[in-house]
Amino acid sequence: MTTTLRKTKIICTLGPASESPERLREMILAGTNVFRLNMSHAQHDWVRKIVPTIRAIATDLDLPVGILLDTQGPAVRTGDLGTKLDLKIGDIMEFTVRGARSEELYSVNVNYDGLIDDISEGDVVLVDNGVIHLKVLSKLNNRIRCEVLTPGALGSRRHINLPGVKVNLPPLTEKDLADIAVGTEVGVDFVALSFCREPSDIAELRSVLAKHGSNARVIAKIEDQSAVKLISEIIQATDAVMIARGDLGIECPMEELPIIQRHILKTALKIGKQVIVATHMLESMIENPVPTRAEVTDVANAVFEQADAIMLSGETTVGKYPVECVRVLDRIARRIERSGGAHYADQTALINPRQKTAHSGVVLANSFVNAHLAILTHRGIMADYTSHIRPEHAPIYAITPSEVTARYLTLNWGVVPIVMPFSETSGETVKNAEQLLLSRDLLKTGDQLIVMSDIVEGDEKFDFIQLRKI
């Protein structure tokens, strides 16, 4: 019944632990709404194989499932090493670029030649998810001489973070462009822009998608300080925003991360854009069958703050319990949603007539205990607006004739996308939608159904709200 519908969406990253058809089916049935393809690791042949597999399983289950392609982005990484470097406090290590050679015992090349130009003496370099800290002592002949501040074993292709340093890398690398081409070829629904730094980065991605004839929705990943400084402008420019707490928590002081997360959530909900909270949500469940109590609280906070979606990464790519991780998120989200939310969406800006129409429908739904919202939509815009306002109790059934639109709406808080052909008249379409919801046990006698639509009939385009008692 509708009282058990979960409003917060679940995104799962695919990998060896979750890529089999049997496991994909289990994860969808457990509550996965969107699958993420991490192009930092994924190969093109795998993408061409996994996407049709997901589509076929989703069709068989009659459940819309979104697919998100996540670009690697302009990441600065160390090169290959024959053996790990066992670094101790006070050791000297050199980063080399442009083919330079180092005479130091510890050295590694870097994939970004411009690093020596961007970095300055005194800067702190963080390597391998912030585990190893180094201080820049000097720069000479394409070598960056550093002192080790924290010990650690440095392996190959480790990510380098440069807090406070503006890195002059392009927003999309050659690899990203090739990955996006494959993603548009197979028809992914969302493309995430890693290390988004400013609104122009999003414009560049939109231009690339347009050249491929793709209408995929754009997700800006917030991963460094420069993005945080321009967060309002970035959220305005994108379709959705991901709070990528892994790199963001390294780039910013750790004690600031919860404040930044809350600020991004509030800003996104006020502007009316989807927001995803990601990274380390159930990290301990990579190895353990149950989460830590701290992880439960972390997930609960994201749900209470009414993020559109929460995301799993290593938990479902290489973890031992991928399906159970989905069930844990589902269980926590359902319980927290029953306790209410933070009401950040109360400040959502209502600018155009459609937003005000959606708001009127939500106000009406909030006045009934047993209300349901049905949105008849072609492109999903009215469903977007209704979701942004965060109805207190009523689920949002987004009924659309478009499978593509249904998949876009898999990311929206509180929205249940349903594919149904529309009739020639709005009246007949409304009746068919009501019957469909009854047949799926989503409505029962005595329920109040608020129907909203922006259907075009003939030469006329109009919005309407209709209250129907079942």
Q: How many CA atoms lie within 13 A of 329 on its CB side?
A: 32
Closest C-alpha among 67, 8, 1, 22 to residue 323 = 22
Predicted pLDDT at 7: 97
Range with lowest mean pLDDT among 163-177, 223-237, 314-328, 331-345: 163-177
Q: Is residue 309 part of a domain?
A: yes
| Domain identity same for 117 and 59 | no
Predicted pLDDT at 379: 92
Q: Is residue 167 part of a domain?
A: no
Predicted pLDDT at 461: 66
Mean pLDDT, rounded, for 318-323: 97
Predicted pLDDT at 443: 93
Q: Is residue 80 part of a domain?
A: no
Tokens of 195: 């290390």
Model confidence at 127: pLDDT above 80: yes
Residue where a domain terminates, one of 120, 136, 161: 161
DSSP H or E run through 459: none
| Domain identity same for 38 and 187 | yes
Q: Is residue 418 part of a domain?
A: yes
Model confidence at 3: pLDDT above 60: no
Predicted pLDDT at 462: 64
Range with lowest mean pLDDT among 93-97, 155-159, 435-439: 155-159
| Domain identity same for 101 and 155 | yes
Q: Which residue has the higher pLDDT, 22 or 41?
A: 22
Q: Is residue 182 part of a domain?
A: yes
| Domain identity same for 120 and 217 | no
Query: What confidence category does residue 58 fall into, taking pLDDT thresholds of 50, 70 and 90?
Result: very high
Residue where a domain terminates, one of 135, 161, 187: 161
Q: Is residue 343 part of a domain?
A: no
3-class state of residue 323 by DSSP: helix
| Domain identity same for 138 and 223 | no
The CATH code of the domain that includes 446 is: 3.40.1380.20
Q: Is residue 291 part of a domain?
A: yes
| Domain identity same for 459 and 371 | yes
SS3 per-residue string spanning 242-283: EEEHHHHHHHCCHHHHHHHHHHHHHHHHHHCCEEEEECCCCH
Q: Is residue 57 part of a domain?
A: yes
| Domain identity same for 182 and 282 | yes
Note whether 397 and 437 are within 8 A (CB).
yes
Residue where a domain terminates, one of 309, 338, 367: 338
Tokens of 148: 């080790």
Query: What confidence category does residue 12 fall into, taking pLDDT thresholds of 50, 70 and 90?
Result: very high
Catalytic residue numbers, as ranges = 36, 77, 221, 279
Angle 362-364-369 from CA coordinates, rounded to 5°: 95
| Domain identity same for 135 and 183 | no
| Domain identity same for 284 and 235 | yes
* Separation between Cα atoms, residue 87 and residue 388, nearest integer Å: 49
Predicted pLDDT at 67: 98
Mean pLDDT, rounded, for 263-284: 95
pLDDT digits 0-9 by tens, 113-124: 999 999 999 999
Q: Which residues, 6+ apart, have CB-to-CB distance to 120 below 8 Å? A: 136, 165
* Separation between Cα atoms, residue 307 and residue 305, nearest integer Å: 6
* Separation between Cα atoms, residue 413 and residue 8, nearest integer Å: 5
| Domain identity same for 207 and 303 | yes
Predicted pLDDT at 454: 73
Note whether 169 and 118 are within 8 A (CB).
no
Model confidence at 297: pLDDT above 90: yes
Read off φ and ψ for residue 332, nearest 5 degrees: -65, -45
| Domain identity same for 213 and 285 | yes
| Cα 450 to Cα 321, 420, 430, 470, distances in angstroms | 40, 18, 11, 11
The CATH code of the domain that includes 291 is: 3.20.20.60
Closest C-alpha among 302, 324, 305, 306 to residue 315 = 324
Give me the sign of the Cα torsion angle 177, 182, 185, 190: negative
Note whether 332 and 299 are within 8 A (CB).
yes
Cβ count near 7 (within 10 Å)? 22
* Separation between Cα atoms, residue 399 and residue 63, nearest integer Å: 13
Predicted pLDDT at 457: 62
| Domain identity same for 193 and 269 | yes
| Cα 26 to Cα 32, 362, 391, distances in angstroms | 9, 34, 30
Predicted pLDDT at 254: 87
3-class state of residue 79 by DSSP: coil
Cβ count near 19 (within 10 Å)? 19
| Parent domain of 237 | 2-74+172-338
Q: What is the pTM of this model?
A: 0.94
Query: What is the signed CA dihedral for 129, 130, 133, 139, rounded to 10 degrees?
Result: 60
How many distinct structural domains can be found in the chain?
3
The CATH code of the domain that includes 121 is: 2.40.33.10
Query: What confidence category does residue 165 fall into, taking pLDDT thresholds of 50, 70 and 90?
Result: confident
* Separation between Cα atoms, residue 118 and residue 114, nearest integer Å: 6
